[in-house]
Amino acid sequence: MNEPIFHFYGNKAGVEGADQIKQTIDDATRGSEYYKRQQEKRQQVLSKVSKMQVELENYHKNEQKKKETKEIIQNKVKEFQINTDRIWAHFDMDMFYVACELLDKPELKDKPVAVGQSIISTANYVARKYGVRSAMPGFVAKKLCPDIIFVPCHFEKYKSVSNIFMTILKKYDDNLESMGLDEANLDLTEYINNSQVDPATLCENIRKDIFIATQLTASCGVGPNKMIAKLASEINKPNGLHVVEQSPTAVLGFLEKLPVRKIPGIGNITEQILSGLNFNTCKDVRDRADELYIIFTPKTFEYIFYSCWGVARNCHVEFEDQLSISCQRTFSSISTQKEFEDKVDYIAEKLAEDMQQEEKVGNHLTLIIKTCKFEIRNKSLQLNQYTNQAKQIAIYGKQLLKIMQLDEPIRLLGLKMGSLANEKQMQKQSISTYFKKQFDKSNSLENQIASNLGSKSHQISEDGDSINKVQLQQPEQSKPEIISEDEASNISNQLLSGVNSKGHQYQAQQQSFQQKQQAQPKSFLCPICNNEIDCKGNNTVLNKHIDRCITTQNVIVEQSDESNKNEIVQKKKISSKIESKAQKSFNFFKK
DNA sequence: TAAAGGGTTCCGA
DNA sequence: CCATTTCGGAACCCTTTA
């Protein structure tokens, strides 16, 4: 029962002596509130698993249903084919941040080194042997490896090395997709067709080029789609190459023994559930897909199912808009109303800064808090206007605070703005509208004008009647009326839900992301440099521009004067700008 | 019966 | 010396609403 609860150790790590390491981490952390909370969570997962087990037992008793389900699966398997027309490569710099630091400090090369201090950003392979991982708190790393050397983060340095890395890769695929500073996906099909080199030789040459230019090593994987390439790149890491041949047999063979945990998008929790039900490798999933179908909701099922069959995106992804911007901070415990409010003010300012930098406005605010018992709660609110002003955000934030009725100490507070829209576009729209005059008179801020227009209600309604319904109040005068619901309802049944009612039937309705792609505007605001790009509705042009921006140092990175904001976040911020998650929607293999 | 709203879960680094 | 465990974004799911 005293099973270590730490999540830094999934199969992804693949380190010997993992049990010992788990034990050390466990010893170092037992008794804390954090630990207690983790145990609770673990229990919840376990009870979810046992519910699922019961469900599966029933399923196996029902021959009729079994027959039906297997048929559905068989049809699904017939429907797709693993497309091996294209050749993708995934390049990944080895332990990137640390490697960059070691360039300047070669004497540390054979010692355990980590970038970051309170939370570790990257560790070198010496430190990894001891079990040190990214996102691990510094004190745990110290317990695992007392001699570890912490090096502060120098983001600018990594950026410039990354530029060199990307420039080299661009020669082979101008449209490459970079996910963060140290990773990129390349579609090598054209290059290889033109030059007649074989993929392995080509990629080895590229790796050499990278080394010559940066003195750093990169690992590489090759396969018929992005997912396979990424998975392959981990096989011979660090400083290695692995090629999955361009045939369905090779792909299936490659995946066969692969732990499902390796699939991007399957993380700690999903792994626990899967292994609890004895799904360990991709082959398990393929063989018993009908069970998977019974247990998981449609989306989750599809994602896992297709991934294990090696079906994934094999074309470049189109740029998608960011959906929300958020800001959250951890601090030492606070418990008075005044302190809460001050935090809201502070976070609101930070959020407003971020939003203004991105030139976004939004009208859906969420307040997030974490209690000192590590419980997370949030409340959200549909605003009656679009905004990115600290003052307004703070006012709404304090309303949410009231609604939440906090009566215990907290250690984190955050604000998230959703329903984003482009600030400039909003302003443009506002100029040509009926409301302009009114607002000029009432000398309100420009973005307050913008904020009341172009909202959903505006787009939906063409009749003047409903436009009049758009509310034009300032938050000080009239606060949105939100009836505070009492909390009695939810909590307990939440976690156990999703076991019963799943409705695999309605696939047609699930295609929300197609709707996002309605009308392509002729010009586009580049999220990196903020210039308008005349892309004539052509995504290639847009992508090229964005890629160029990324690699020409135009990325604006906050010069962090807050020691609070850690390195991992900066890493993340950049990468999420460029590509949203791999596991998104499943239409991509249908073409 | 589909969409909107609100809240939670999960992932990755 | 002590104790100390992140943050951002999207997917997902349930409930309410029109």
Structure-token pair, residue A124: 């070198």
Q: Please report the DSSP string for A493-537 in residue order.
A: HHHHTTSS---TT--GGG-HHHHHTSSPPSEEE-TTT--EEE-TT
Assess whether pLDDT exceeds 90 at residue A578: no
Q: How confident is the model at residue A503 (pLDDT cuts 50, 70, 90)?
A: very low
Q: Residue A123 pairs with which residues in a beta bridge?
A: A114
> How do residues A78-119 score in pLDDT, each as one tens digit?
888 888 999 999 999 999 999 999 999 999 999 999 998 889
Segment A341-354 mean pLDDT: 96
Assess whether pLDDT exceeds 80 at residue A141: yes
pLDDT reported for residue A506: 28
**Share of residues in chain A with pLDDT > 70 (%):** 69
The answer to whether strand C lies under 7 Å from the CB of residue A42 is no
Segment A309-331 mean pLDDT: 88
Q: How far apart are CA A183 and CA A499, in angstroms?
A: 37
H-only helix segments in A311-407: 337-358, 390-404
Angle in degrees, 0-180, between the axes of helices A63-79 and A33-61, rounded to the nearest 10: 100
Q: Residue A534 pairs with which residues in a beta bridge?
A: A523
> Which A residues between 511 and 550 have a beta carbon under 7 A from any strand C atom?
513
pLDDT reported for residue A16: 52
CA of A490 to C1' of B6 (A): 12
Strand C nucleotides where any atom sits below 7 Å of a protein CB: 3-16
* Three-class SS state of A114: strand
What are the angstrom distances between the C-alpha of A429 and each of A321, A388, A422, A450, A462? 19, 17, 11, 7, 15
Assess whether pLDDT exceeds 90 at residue A326: yes
Q: How confident is the model at residue A504 (pLDDT cuts 50, 70, 90)?
A: very low
pLDDT reported for residue A320: 75
The closest alpha carbon to A303, from A289, A317, A315, belongs to: A289
Segment A491-496 mean pLDDT: 24
Q: How confident is the model at residue A260 (pLDDT cuts 50, 70, 90)?
A: very high
H-only helix segments in A171-260: 189-195, 199-214, 226-233, 248-256
Query: Which nt sits closest to A299, CA to C1'?
Result: C12
* Three-class SS state of A380: strand
> Which A residues between 74 and 103 have a beta carbon under 7 A from any strand C atom?
none
pLDDT reported for residue A430: 59
Q: Residues in chain A, how many?
A: 591
The answer to whether strand C lies under 7 Å from the CB of residue A329 is yes
> How do residues A48-71 score in pLDDT, each as one tens digit?
999 999 999 999 999 999 999 999
Structure-token pair, residue A336: 């008075």
Q: How confident is the model at residue A442 (pLDDT cuts 50, 70, 90)?
A: very low
Query: Which nt sits closest to A139, CA to C1'?
Result: C4
Query: Which nt sits closest to A420, CA to C1'?
Result: C9
Q: How far apart are CA A346 and CA A344, in angstroms?
A: 5
CA of A588 to C1' of B7 (A): 29
CA atoms within 13 Å, Cβ hemisphere of A411:
9
- A143 close to A24: Cβ distance less than 8 angstroms: yes
The answer to whether strand C lies under 7 Å from the CB of residue A34 is yes
Q: How confident is the model at residue A20 (pLDDT cuts 50, 70, 90)?
A: confident
Assess whether pLDDT exceeds 60 at residue A257: yes
- A115 close to A122: Cβ distance less than 8 angstroms: yes
- A92 close to A241: Cβ distance less than 8 angstroms: no
Task: Provide the annotated active-site residues of A.
Answer: 183
Q: How far apart are CA A222 and CA A199, in angstroms?
A: 8
CA of A474 to C1' of B3 (A): 28
Q: Which residue bears the tokens 């999934």?
A: A10
- A209 close to A196: Cβ distance less than 8 angstroms: no
Dihedral (CA of A382, A384, A386, A389) sign: negative
Which sequence spans correspond to the domains of chain A? 320-476
Q: Helix %, strand %, coil % for chain A, to 5?
A: 50, 15, 35
Class of domain A320-476: alpha beta
The closest alpha carbon to A80, from A300, A312, A249, A247, belongs to: A312
> Which A residues between 558 and 577 have a beta carbon under 7 A from any strand C atom?
564-566, 568-569, 572-573, 576
> Which A residues between 219 and 258 have a beta carbon under 7 A from any strand C atom?
none
CA of A74 to C1' of B4 (A): 36
Q: What is the dihedral of CA A26, A31, A34, A39, to 10 degrees?
A: 70
Surface-to-core class of residue A432, CB atoms within 10 Å of its CB (0-12 exposed, 13-18 middle, 19+ buried): exposed
Q: Which residue bears the tokens 């029902």?
A: A62
> How do residues A405-416 score in pLDDT, each as one tens digit?
999 999 999 999
**Share of residues in chain A with pLDDT > 90 (%):** 58
| Omega before residue A238 within 30° of 0, cis | yes
Q: How far is CA A373 from the centre of its chain?
A: 25
Reported pTM: 0.74
Least confident of A97-101, A176-180, A302-306, A519-523: A519-523
- A168 close to A206: Cβ distance less than 8 angstroms: yes
